[in-house]
Structure 1
Amino acid sequence: MELNGTVALVTGANRGLGRHFAQQLLERGATKVYAAARNPDTIDLPGVVPIELDITDPESVARAAAVATDVDVLINNAGISLHQNLVTGDLDAIRRELETNFFGTLNVIRAFVPVRAILNVNSRLSWLSYVGAGGYAASKAAEWSLTNSVRLELPDTLVTGLYLSSTDTDMMAGWDIPKNDPADVVRQALDGLEADAVEVIADADTAETKAALSTEPVAVP
């Protein structure tokens, strides 16, 4: 997979990892990068093509797919975290996490295939739960399964999952903990695409969590 000369679409491209994806795709020679956001007026990156896209709205997804008919590379970056426990949290908020992180990602994939490559931005919490993040973890576990299933259904498409721990974006702004550099995470992800990798593990904490899946669940840190 060579990104030079491709046409890419990045969801949630107005900030954070999405903005870095759009910028670095241009730097790697993508001939066009659709920068998608619910409000395209928030896209401030020179050289991209802003496009309106709400991944939870099938009509919005269909409109975007009708405009961006030349996409080679699909970066599913858009997602939310609403800090909900499963037993005591707000069910509507938990549903929003699943509607966005799982069904929203699936909406976009179904609308834009066939493409040459799909990269889903996933999480260490695909394999780990924290108190206060049960809804998000469940949605990302579902997205992990989605990524693996789509890979089987689309044997002619490179389907890559990106897995990362806390990263210095707006989503993690309230957490005073060590964080990944988002530019470095995106660099690893795009290197992985160009190496035909089906999985990119962005940091040591995420690698340790995945390795711990063979242990008893209560022992997973």
Structure 2
Amino acid sequence: MDLKQAVVLVTGGNRGIGKALVAQAQARGVRKVYAAARDPRTVTAPGVEAVALDVTDPESVRRAAERTGDVTVLVNNAGIYVGASYVTGDLVDIRREFETNFYGPLNVTRAFVPQLLANGGGRIVNVHSALSWVALGGSYSATKAALWSASDALRLELAPRGIGVTGLHVGYVDTDMAASVDAPKISPDAVAVQVFDAIEQDRDEVLADDTSRGAKRSLTAEPGERYARVAA
């Protein structure tokens, strides 16, 4: 992909990884950047176009798609962490996490695919997690595993129509979401660089750190062995 001609929209583009993705898009010299957030007033990056978008609200998603029209790279970054227990957690919280982390990207993708097709194709980036492959995040892991599976299915469906799908897997990132975690963290900027390298090179997967690479390697082991390694 020629990034100089790309028009990029990043959901959750006002903070964390999303803010770094917006900055990296600008650094690569893309033609236009939309930073989407529930409250567009929280988008403070100069030179970008703020868009009101609540990924859990189909009407909000529809309005955002109508407002733009020129997007060629869609980055489904917006997400939340609840991490509820399947046994004792509140089902309302689990559903809210799925509405944001799984149905949200699906809502946005369905709304923007016609736009990407009208502009000659493009690329969708879905932000997964190392926890897509290791079920340690309670309900959060399930939402990201579901999104990973959906990304594979979307890739197969959309590739013949000129739209690629890239999945980002990463462990702890130095953002507000992981502020309470005492573990090695990768910077949002380092993640964003890898994402835009993958977009430019038409790659389908980004394993941004050792945690995500280890999680993928572990998939060939038996479940008991996999989780014994994690515990160790």
TM-score (ref. length: structure 1): 0.97
The answer for the alignment partner of 1:164 in structure 2 is 170
Q: Secondary structure at the match of 1:113?
A: helix
Q: Partners in 2 of 1:209 and 1:173 — Cα distance?
A: 22
The answer for the alignment partner of 2:62 in structure 1 is 62
Q: How many angstroms does 1:42 deviate by?
A: 0.4
**Counterpart selection for 1:213 from 198, 215, 219:** 219
Q: Partners in 1 of 2:218 and 2:182 — Cα distance?
A: 25
Q: Partners in 1 of 2:132 and 2:2 — Cα distance?
A: 28
Q: Partners in 1 of 2:41 and 2:97 — Cα distance?
A: 24
Q: Partners in 2 of 1:205 and 1:29 — Cα distance?
A: 30
> Is this contact kept in 1: 2:83–2:141, CA < 8 A?
no
Q: Partners in 2 of 1:218 and 1:199 — Cα distance?
A: 27
The answer for the alignment partner of 2:128 in structure 1 is 122
Q: Partners in 2 of 1:196 and 1:82 — Cα distance?
A: 32
Counterpart of 2:6, as a letter, is T
Q: Secondary structure at the match of 2:4?
A: coil
Q: How many angstroms does 1:85 deviate by?
A: 1.2
Q: Partners in 2 of 1:158 and 1:29 — Cα distance?
A: 21
1:121-167 CA deviation, whole Å, 9 max, x = no partner?
1100000011xx21000000000001001001101211100000000
Q: Partners in 1 of 2:206 and 2:11 — Cα distance?
A: 19
The answer for the alignment partner of 2:77 in structure 1 is 77
Q: Partners in 1 of 2:128 and 2:5 — Cα distance?
A: 26
Q: Please say if 1:142 is aligned against 2:146.
A: yes
Q: How many angstroms does 1:83 deviate by?
A: 2.4
Counterpart of 1:88, as a letter, is T
Q: How many angstroms does 1:177 deviate by?
A: 1.3
Q: Partners in 2 of 1:218 and 1:104 — Cα distance?
A: 33
Residues 1-221 of structure 1 correspond to what in structure 2 (within 5 A)? 1-114=1-114, 115=116, 116-130=122-136, 133-155=137-159, 156-220=162-226, 221=230
Counterpart of 2:102, as a letter, is F
When the two chains are superposed, the root-mean-square deviation of aligned CA atoms in Å is 0.8
> Is this contact kept in 1: 2:81–2:177, CA < 8 A?
yes
Q: How many angstroms does 1:30 deviate by?
A: 1.1
Counterpart of 2:44, as a letter, is D
Counterpart of 2:173, as a letter, is T
Q: How many angstroms does 1:90 deviate by?
A: 1.1
Unaligned runs of 5+ in 1: none
Q: Partners in 2 of 1:59 and 1:67 — Cα distance?
A: 12
Q: Partners in 1 of 2:143 and 2:131 — Cα distance?
A: 9
**What is the number of equivalent residue pairs in this alignment?**
219
Q: How many angstroms does 1:2 deviate by?
A: 2.1
Q: Partners in 1 of 2:223 and 2:49 — Cα distance?
A: 45
1:19-61 CA deviation, whole Å, 9 max, x = no partner?
1111110111111111000000000000000000000000000
Counterpart of 1:59, as a letter, is E
Q: Partners in 2 of 1:98 and 1:153 — Cα distance?
A: 22
Q: Partners in 1 of 2:225 and 2:100 — Cα distance?
A: 30
